[in-house]
Every structure is written in C-alpha cells, then in structure tokens.
Structure 1
Amino acid sequence: MKLGKKDILITGLALLAMFLGAGNLIFPPKLGLQAGGSFWPAIFGFIITGVGLPLLGVTAVAKAGGDLELLANRVNPLFSKIITTIVILSIGPMLAIPRTAATTFEVGVAPFLGTTDPATVKMALAVTTLIFFLITLLFVLKPTKILDSVGSILTPFLILFLGIIIFKGISSPLGVASKATLVSPFTKGFLEGYNTMDALASVIFGLAIANSIKGKGIEDKKEVAKVTISAGIIAAIGLSAIYLGISYIGSTTGTLFTGDNPGQLLSFVVDSLLGSTGKLVLALTMALACLTTSIGLVASCGSFFNRLTKGKVSYNTICIITVLISAILANMGLSKILEVSAPLLVTVYPIIIVLVVISLFDGLFKGNRAVYIISITGTVILSLTNLIYSIGTNMGLNLNFIKNALSVLPLYDKGLEWIIPAFLLALVANFVKPSNSSHY
C-alpha cells in the first residue's frame, strides 16, 4: 500500500505547521532588520541551519525506522534511552509545550484584555491554557487523524494569515533596508538558524509523522521512510519561503523600529502593515503556530513513552498526563523552567546533530559502531563540560580554567567548538576494527 500525492502533501503541510512555532516567526524579521542591505547572505545562512538541519533530522529518523531511539541505539541501548528521554522531556512538557500555551496567551489574548490587573491576568491565563490544551487533546487523542487534521484544517489557515502579512509587506513595504549593522551577515544568519534548535524538534516530529503514516496502514519501512522524507522536503520548502518573506519584511523597516525585542518588532510590522486588524491577524497566526507545535510535541511524547513502558501505559493516558504537566507549568511562569531546561537543551543539541549527521553517512563507514561510539563520546564530554561550566558560573564558582581549556578549540567563540573534534574523532574511529554493525 502506498500513500497518494494528496496524502503526502497533507503530511508535509502538517510537518511544516509543527515546525512553525512562535520563535520561528519572531526571529527572522529581527535578522532581516539587523542585516539590512545584506539581507540575502544573512537569510541564506539562516536557512542552511534553520531549515537544513531539521530536514537532515527528519531524514535520519526516517531512515532509522521513524524512531530516535533506534537511531541512538547505534551508540548504545542505555545511551539511547537516556538521550531520547532527555530530549523528549526537555523539548516537551518541561519547556516547549508549556511555552506554546504561555505564548498564545501573551500574544493572542493579553493584548485584548484591556487591563493589567494581576488577578484578571492570572484568571485569563488559566482559562486560555485550559482551552488551548483541550483543543490540543482533541487532535492528539486520535493519532491516525493527526496528519489529516493538522495538514488539511489548521495549516491552510496558518498559511493564509502568514500569506496576508507577507503579501502586504512585499507589495507595500514599510520603507527601505537600512545600512547593515552586521559585520558577517552570513555567519550571523547561520548561527541564528542553529540556535532555533529545530534539529531537536525534527527528530521528535519525525516519530509523530512516521507513527501517523503507519496508522494509515503503511507497514513497509521503506515506504514509511520515503513518505516521511518527502514530507520533510515539502516542509523545508514551505519554511524557506516563509522565512524569506518575513525576514525581508523585517529588513524593510529600516530605522522605523528602534527597539530590541524581536516580538515587539513583529507586532510593530503587522500593526504598520494591516492597521487595526493587524493585532487580530497576528494573534490568530501566533495561536495557530503554537497550537500545531503543541499537537506535534504532545503526540510524540505519547508515542515515545507508550513504547518505553511497552504498552503498559496507553498513548492516550500519556498524552493527558503530558498536557496536565504542561498546563501547570504554563500557569506557574516559565522563567524557572527555562533556567533548568535551557542548559539541558544546549547540552543535548550538539549530541543529536552529530548523531544525525553521522547516521546519514552510515554507508561510507559500513555501519562501523566505533564511529558512533567514539565521536558521540567526545561530543558528550565537551557538552557536559560546558554544562558544568554554565551551572558552576551561575552558582558563583570560579571555573575560568574550564573556559580557558575550551577556548583553544576552533569555533569556540561561536558556540560550535564541538564540530571539529567530532569530525576528527569520526575519521579516526573509522580505522578502528568494527566489532559489529551499528544496525541491530
């Protein structure tokens, strides 16, 4: 059995919507504003990492059977369970899912309250969170319908609202691009795309997409992988077009916007382009962007922990628990959550990227597990060292010796000091006699 072109398109649109969280809409306009006349190299750098890495992640997971855990098994089964659990929790109920609800309130509801009374705001947040997660549950409790629901219902509206903003911004630009304030626009864009951390989301969304495809009766692993990769390409094309559009609009604000907050920049742009209706259009756009991301993350959490417990805890039960935890955290405020979760994300991000890239070149070293083990071990050591430095510094400890040691590595000033060591370790490991294949 194979999926038709229409189903593949809907799957791609669903994946596109899952990636389009609030942050993905906020930061490209800011990059465009900073780049000014150097808009093209900046956005090209952003797309390489902000779109390229997620596409690689979806591809790697698809080729591994639609499962991050299977992909990480090539290093070690215990490592696989630990790293997958950390990724799922940190980008799921411990950070990203609560943030989707909180952002929906801040952008889509708070501007219309007409009051800053703490009691009123708190009650409005609680009601918004309740409604937001009830809608999320309506979609995720029927996993086989997620792709159809998100891809054919929510995504068209999201694209419509974004299309209105982008069309208006291109046809009636606010001004002309100002002189670039960036010394190296390509590098800035490259790092901004990297810092979206969408590569983490990609390995999680890949699981949700693969499971939904299987739910349609597609059992052949190659066909599941083919459809998932095709969906990833569709999502990548859509993301690139949207990033180009909204970053270009940001570049045309010139000197009209003088603030630093990227969220305020987006609000300023939409208000200036669409007038009194701009606030409503932006609110609906952000709410849909957050909702589709929440749906993808909750569904992925449900699938992973259902399998981790070997079916002892049902998918629906896990989704409900995930939503309850996320709702509580969203109402508590996210500052403390960020303090805990952000360092974890920064720690696991390089590990996941190395795992993804190596897996895509698996055929070159014939599945030699030594390549996975040695390169990932080196990356883990560097990531944990950075985590220790970050936590220790926040506690007031003098750990400059760690910083001094790491600073000798290439690209340290860009936060990419792990790249060269991982590459060199993989090359060296390829000459280690393999004990067995990575595929087991």
Structure 2
Amino acid sequence: MEARKRRTILFLGMALFAMFFGAGNLLLPAYLGLQTRTDWTATFAGFSLTAILAPVLAIFAVAVSGNYFTDLGARANVKLAYVLATVNVLCIGPLIALPRAGASVFEVAIQPIIPHAQPVWVCVLFFGAVMAASLSLNRITAILGKIFTPILLIFLAILIIPGFFVGSEVNIPPTVIEDRFYVGFNEGYQTMDVLAGLIFAVLLIAGANRKSYTHINERVEVVVKAALLSAFCMILVYGGLFYLGAHATVNVSNTTRSSLLVQIATQHFGNSGIYLISILMILACLTTAIALTAGSANFFERLTKGKLGYIEGVISITLVSTLLAIIGVDGIIDYAAATLNFIYPVTLVLILSVLLFGKIIHNQKPYFITLIVTMVVSLIRLVANWFPSEDFFTQLLNMLPLARFNLEWVLPAILTFIISCFALGRNLNRK
C-alpha cells in the first residue's frame, strides 16, 4: 500500500474514532463493567456487537451503496429511505445524542469542579463552541483527525492504564445480573453509533473523495480500512473502561453513570482525577458533537434542496440541542431508550440485508417488506414501553421469540425476507 494511502487511512480512521467516541462511549462501558463485575467480558462481547461491529458494517454498507445513507435505503424504497434517514438524523442530532453530549459536559466535566454552575450557561458555551467549529464542513475531518484524536487518546491512556495495576489487586464480587451478553448487546444501542455511522460515513466518503480516491473500489478500500482502524481503537478503549468499572471499589447502589468515572479517577489520582475526567468528557463530547452537527446540517441541506442552508442548519441544530440538554443525562437516556429500541432493529435489518444479499437480490420488494415487518414488530415494543399499564401490548410482545432479550425482531425479519424472496423469485437477478 502506498504511503499516501496509508496516511489517508490513518487520518480518516483517527477522525472517525473521535466522531464515535462521545458521552455514551465514555460513560456506558465502565458502568456496565461495574454492573457485571467478574462476568464483564460476556457483557463486553455483547456490547461490542452493537457498539463496534454494527457501526463498522453501517459505514461499509453506505460506502458500497453510494455516498449517502439514502443510497443504502433506496435498495428498499426511495421514499422510505428518506423517512428512515430523517428519523436517524433527528435521533443522533438535535433530539437525543447532541443534547446528551451537552448534558454530560455539565454533569461530569463542570459540576464536580464548579458545584454551583448553571446548566443553561454551560450548555450555551458548549454548543457555541460546537457551532463555531462546525461552520466549515470541509475542515471537520482535518480538525478531528489531526488535532483532537491524538489528545483524546493520550488522556484515555492516562485514565485507563493505571487501572490495570490498581484494579488487579481488588477482590471484586460476582455479578448478580442474568443474561449478561444481552445486557451488553442492548446497552450498545445507547451509544447510537450505528445511527451515527450512517452519517459519519458521509463525512468519511467526502474525506476520501477530497484525497482523490473517487473510484468506487479505492474509495471503499480507504473508508473500510479507516473504519477498521477506528474499531480497533474502540476495542482497546472500551475493554479498558469495562475493566476499570468491573474493578472499581465503589458503592454500586449510590453510583450513577455520570459519577462512576469521577470516583475511579479520584481514587487513582486524588483530586486531580476530577480534572482528568473533565478534560476527557469535554474532548469526547466536543468531537462527537462537531461531527454530528456537521453531518446533520449537511443532511437537512440536501433534504430541503438548499432551502435550509448548511450554516442555517448548524445554527438551528445547536439551538434545539441547547434547550434539550438542560434535561440532564439520565433524563435523556430514559426517553431515548424506547425510541432506540424501535429504530435500531430497522436500521440493522437494512444494513445486514443489503450487505449479505445486495449483490444477489436486486429486487426492492423483499427489502421493503422485511423493513415494514421489522417496523411493526419494533412498534409493539415501543407502544409497550410507552403504555406499560396496557397488558395487551406486553402480552403480545412476550409471545414473540427472543423478546426477553429485546431481539423479538430477528426471526420475523429473517422469515419475512426468505419468504418474500421465494414468493417474488421471478423478479430476482442472480449471478
């Protein structure tokens, strides 16, 4: 591989890691390690599927389909593609992921140092910085890959490496959580990286195009290898954070997602640990927020055919995110969980079906029908979560296979795709 291509892959891979590594990626792994204790590796395996492997597949799926998520969704239906893309962007943009980033900066980075700080002013300053850094779309990957990622990795190493020496001496209790693998699998939804990956792929592809890798084979190679490099970094970092949480000597009942890392850092570094976590949280949230804002604004500019300009989109997205960020991290995660349980299965089914069968089955109907069935099944869980007092939806959900693992959509999706392919076989093109 030529040196220029290696530099491009390194540059884009580092930028992608910074895009992915946000508030949830910093908070959730350690907290899951704390909850599962000696069995943290099983939870880590499940978490890795939805928080590492699935995002890489999402980027690969977009890269082989074209330049945008809508090119991937068009394999099923063009109109449905734009609906799914809009829902995805709203989730990873101004409604969930961006407000969570701002709330995390306040709760984890600022409040422990300045207890009387007001969340509204912290969020205004944070999103003001995000807005300023996001105004130039073409500079996003350069800012993240060359500046922020090396600094972020250095501070993560400072936090994680001492934990392997201190934590190894701690006699940790066994876990009391059942289905540890599936706990990690479902919590991986909270990182929202599959949804984000569909948008980050656009920034990655644009970065490869700017480096003159415009031929589809070269572009896919650069983008996929950059995604794999990012995934390797995430495996190392997530594994280290899981280990820190599993070996933490804290009171589990009184520990929240936001406070755990602060407690671990202060145990290892004294009062200076608070500043370490503050810097890490600000870096993690800022890099992800910049990428999400840029990607979302770029999508809405294309969706509205320029009626909502890129700069106007950046301003609008950061204003909405600022208002919602005041709810707080736990509040955002609570209302996000039900929505993610609906949109994640649909997105995963689209990604996997196109990757596995895209070169064999060119008819849109099997993809479209499978997505509709997946939506209906996922909608049952969504309604059951919204109306827990209604026994009908809960009982209906429990009748579905794998429902106890939040995987009730898997078998219906597989069966629907197989049956629709056979039923519509005359329309299939096989190589």
2:154 matched to 1:160? yes
2:215 matched to 1:223? no
1:237 to 198, 211, 232: 232
Deviation at 1:336, TM superposition (A): 7.5
Given the superposition, is the C-alpha separation of residues 2 and 433 from structure 1 closer, same or farther in structure 2, using an over 3 Å criterion? farther
Given the superposition, is the C-alpha separation of residues 383 and 41 from structure 1 closer, same or farther in structure 2, using an over 3 Å criterion? closer
Please tell me the residue identity of whatever aligns with 2:146: S
Contact 2:195 2:347 in 1 (8 A): yes
For residues 189-237 of structure 1, what are the alpha-carbon distances to aligned partners after superposition, in whole Å with 9 as ceiling and x for unaligned? Answer: 3333345332112112212222333344443333332222112101110
Contact 2:8 2:208 in 1 (8 A): no
Please tell me the residue identity of whatever aligns with 2:323: I
2:361 to 363, 366, 371: 366
**2:254 match: secondary structure:** coil
1:106 maps to what in 2? 107
**1:430 match: secondary structure:** helix
Given the superposition, is the C-alpha separation of residues 356 and 382 from structure 1 closer, same or farther in structure 2, using an over 3 Å criterion? same
For residues 117-149 of structure 1, what are the alpha-carbon distances to aligned partners after superposition, in whole Å with 9 as ceiling and x for unaligned? Answer: xxxx33xx3332233223223332222221111
2:283 matched to 1:288? yes
How many Å separate the matches in 2 of 1:322 and 1:283?
A: 24
How many Å separate the matches in 1 of 2:426 and 2:205?
A: 31
How many Å separate the matches in 2 of 1:92 and 1:52?
A: 22
- TM-score by length of structure 2 reads 0.91
Deviation at 1:79, TM superposition (A): 0.9
Q: Which residues of 2 match residues 190-209 of structure 1 at below 5 A? A: 190-209=185-204
Deviation at 1:255, TM superposition (A): 6.3
1:171 maps to what in 2? 165
**2:95 match: secondary structure:** coil
1:78 maps to what in 2? 79
Please tell me the residue identity of whatever aligns with 2:294: A
Contact 2:100 2:332 in 1 (8 A): no
For residues 283-324 of structure 1, what are the alpha-carbon distances to aligned partners after superposition, in whole Å with 9 as ceiling and x for unaligned? Answer: 000111111110111011121111112233322221122122
How many Å separate the matches in 2 of 1:233 and 1:254?
A: 34
For residues 325-379 of structure 1, what are the alpha-carbon distances to aligned partners after superposition, in whole Å with 9 as ceiling and x for unaligned? Answer: 2223334667876676553333211110100110111246432322201211110
How many Å separate the matches in 1 of 2:30 and 2:331?
A: 28
2:336 matched to 1:345? no
How many Å separate the matches in 1 of 2:124 and 2:3?
A: 38
Contact 2:24 2:190 in 1 (8 A): no
Please tell me the residue identity of whatever aligns with 1:275: G
Determine what percentage of the aligned residue pairs are the same residue: 32
**2:171 match: secondary structure:** coil
1:95 maps to what in 2? 96
How many Å separate the matches in 1 of 2:297 and 2:4?
A: 24
Q: Which residues of 2 match residues 267-346 of structure 1 at below 5 A? A: 267-331=262-326, 342-346=337-341
Given the superposition, is the C-alpha separation of residues 34 and 322 from structure 1 closer, same or farther in structure 2, using an over 3 Å criterion? closer
For residues 16-70 of structure 1, what are the alpha-carbon distances to aligned partners after superposition, in whole Å with 9 as ceiling and x for unaligned? Answer: 1111111212121222223333233332232233211111111111111131111
How many Å separate the matches in 2 of 1:342 and 1:187?
A: 15
CA-atom RMSD in angstroms: 2.5
How many Å separate the matches in 2 of 1:384 and 1:258?
A: 33
How many Å separate the matches in 2 of 1:61 and 1:292?
A: 22
2:410 maps to what in 1? 419
2:133 maps to what in 1? 139
For residues 68-126 of structure 1, what are the alpha-carbon distances to aligned partners after superposition, in whole Å with 9 as ceiling and x for unaligned? Answer: 111111221111111111111122111211221121112111122243xxxxx33xx33
How many Å separate the matches in 1 of 2:325 and 2:145?
A: 26
Given the superposition, is the C-alpha separation of residues 253 and 129 from structure 1 closer, same or farther in structure 2, using an over 3 Å criterion? closer
How many Å separate the matches in 2 of 1:413 and 1:349?
A: 17
Given the superposition, is the C-alpha separation of residues 48 and 339 from structure 1 closer, same or farther in structure 2, using an over 3 Å criterion? closer
Deviation at 1:381, TM superposition (A): 1.1
How many Å separate the matches in 2 of 1:45 and 1:342?
A: 17
**2:270 match: secondary structure:** helix
How many Å separate the matches in 1 of 2:428 and 2:93?
A: 32
Contact 1:271 1:279 in 2 (8 A): yes
2:241 maps to what in 1? 246
How many Å separate the matches in 1 of 2:327 and 2:176?
A: 38
- TM-score by length of structure 1 reads 0.89
